[in-house]
Amino acid sequence: MSSAIARMWDLQPHTVYNFLDVTEATIKEKPKALAAFVKANIEATRLMYTDRAKVLPILVKHTGYPEKIIAETYDFLVKNCIWNANSGLSPDRVNFTSKLMEKVGNIEKGKAPTYEEIVDKNFAEQAIKELGVWKGPVCPSAEF
């Protein structure tokens, strides 16, 4: 594996790397579909940590990269616990990312939204209630 100049999770450990963004209308009109999507996303994240044999062929198929490169990268990301297996949307991550986007000019000065203004925890909380809080066996996570 080649060496990296830097890894974002080392430079900015509180950045939100992925999240679901929907309108109020979607929440109102399609709550069951949204709940199923959030739950499936959490389950898929957990699968990344628990079933390498199932995940690797999917990654190879959809990226088109050679299996050797995918396997090395996958193992590295799992070892470094890059994905959050619960919600991934803790207040420190959301607020840090919001302020960073303001600092770099992606959000107008003084307009960075706070966690409370933009996060609806209901769908993730329901999914975690059904699935249980992730505690491992790899990368235990207490965020949310």
Q: Which residue would you say has higher pLDDT here, 90 or 53?
A: 53
Q: Which residue would you say has higher pLDDT here, 104 or 141?
A: 104
Give the percent of the chain with pLDDT over 70: 90
The pLDDT of residue 49? 92
- The domain ranges of the chain are 22-87+123-131
pLDDT one-digit tens code per residue, 28-73 = 999 999 999 999 999 999 999 999 999 999 999 999 999 999 999 9
The pLDDT of residue 136? 84
Could you give the C-alpha distances from 106 to 7, 11, 93, 97, 115, in angstroms and in order? 21, 19, 17, 11, 17
